[in-house]
Amino acid sequence: MTTLAHVSGVRGAVSLDALSLSHGSVPAVRGVSFLAAPREVLTLLGPSGCGKTTTLRAIAGLETPQHGRIMIDGRAVYDASCRINLPPEQRGLSMVFQSYAIWPHMTVAENVAFGLRARGVGKARLHESVRRCLDLVGLGALADRPATRLSGGQQQRVALARSIAGDPGVILLDEPLSNLDAQLRLAMRTELRALQRRLGLTAIYVTHDQEEALALSDQVAVMREGTIEQIGTPQEIHASPCSRFVAEFMGVRNVIPCQVIPHGGGVLALLPDGTKLQARGPIPTGPVCVCFRPISVQIRTGPDGGRPAVVSAAAYLGDLMQYELQAGDLSICARSLPRDDLREGATVYWSVPPEACFLVSA
């Protein structure tokens, strides 16, 4: 566990403490706290309207919260109780927007130079910085091209080059890849991670794409209605979601309300139709759901220990098939390599290994 004492005074640490911000009467961020250690990527992940952009803009100093504290490099840049509120340019960070926000009437190099020039950086150093940043994002050859004559991916690289030109310790990225096509998004994701590591930047990254969050991050904070529902490593969020909301957002398709009965070292989950499933602990307090991923469902054509169901639908997903199984009121989603014996209407027998079944609060 990283503590503030470990990181205070170290370049790039970002911490939020009980931050709240309302747009008029709309509470957009409600008591958000987290700590991003230096050189870490912390991702805010969540559905539309959950407060990701508002949190990022508050860190940047583009929105003023009503409560809480924001520390960067161990220094308060916003503190409601001490009335501290530094302007964006004094926070030692830069921001990349979804829309790129590059200047259409300037060349690629002028776009990158703009912020440096405004800060009075001398001509020789400015030239050298611009060249270095364009080389880092692979745009060295296009320095003199008008910024409008670029592809979406190239425009995104200009925005990225501009954001690192001022040598920030912290970079804030708001859905920076969402305007790119699927293939380019994957390539840029890898490049972005490599660049962040190479420059030793701390990044606060916003996305609603769970795969992107898992691939890029050291920590993922899943947001819901202005609060952080769960924060942890990508492995923790993926393997052990804490709630029904996080489980469903992370693509766990089988989330079924149940009663729990302690059973040996584990638990028995009692489903509404009377089915009992062995699950792993721990047992959350309050109402619970049992969860398992489609890939964990084993399907056989003979009974040997499985529960009967009918294949109600089969869909081709490319590498895998998705099978919907129906047993009375119970619907189960399963995925496996394509199989000839699982046609729609067939009776099959399904089971889930106990270690693949876990419990979340409902």
Ligand X SMILES: Nc1ncnc2c1ncn2[C@@H]1O[C@H](COP(=O)(O)OP(=O)(O)OP(=O)(O)O)[C@@H](O)[C@H]1O
Return d(Cα 312, Cα 332) in angstroms, integer. Answer: 10
To the nearest whole angstrom, how small is the minimum distance from the Cβ of residue 180 to ligand X? 16
Return d(Cα 237, Cα 232) in angstroms, integer. Answer: 6
Binder among 4, 9, 18, 26 for ligand X (CB under 6 A): 26
Binding mask 41-80 for ligand X (x = CB under 6 A): -----x-xxxxxxx--------------------------
> Who contacts 104 (Cβ-Cβ below 8 Å, separation ≥6)?
146, 147, 148
Residue 32 contact among Mg ion, ligand X, none, beta carbon within 5 to 8 Å by kind: none
The size of the interface with Mg ion (CB under 5 A), counted in residues, is: 1
Is 97 or 349 the residue whose CB approaches ligand X more closely?
97
- Return the closest-CA partner of residue 237 out of 218, 260, 256: 218
To the nearest whole angstrom, how small is the minimum distance from the Cβ of residue 62 to Mg ion? 13
Q: Rule CB under 6 A: is residue 25 a binding residue for ligand X?
A: no
Determine if the peptide bond prior to 282 is cis (ω within 30°): yes
Is 64 or 259 the residue whose CB approaches ligand X more closely?
64
Q: φ and ψ at 126, to 5 degrees? A: -65, -45
Binder among 15, 20, 43, 53 for Mg ion (CB under 5 A): 53
In the sheet where 14-23 sits, what is the strand order? 26-36, 14-23, 67-72, 75-79, 84-85
Q: φ and ψ at 130, to 5 degrees? A: -60, -45
To the nearest whole angstrom, how small is the minimum distance from the Cβ of residue 100 to ligand X? 15
Binder among 30, 145, 193, 208 for ligand X (CB under 6 A): 208
Q: Which stretch binds Mg ion (CB under 5 A): 36-44, 51-59, 118-126, 348-356?
A: 51-59
Is 20 or 55 the residue whose CB approaches Mg ion more closely?
55
Side-chain half-sphere CA neighbours of 94 within 13 A: 18
Rule CB under 6 A: which of 332-351 touch ligand X? none
Residue 23 contact among Mg ion, ligand X, none, beta carbon within 5 to 8 Å by kind: ligand X
List own/partner pairs for 140-143 with CB under 8 A and 24 or more apart: 142/108, 143/107, 143/108, 143/109
Residue 26 contact among ligand X, Mg ion, none, beta carbon within 5 to 8 Å by kind: ligand X
> Who contacts 107 (Cβ-Cβ below 8 Å, separation ≥6)?
143, 144, 145, 146, 147
Chain contacts with ligand X (rule: CB under 6 A) = 23-24, 26, 28, 46, 48-54, 208
Chain contacts with Mg ion (rule: CB under 5 A) = 53
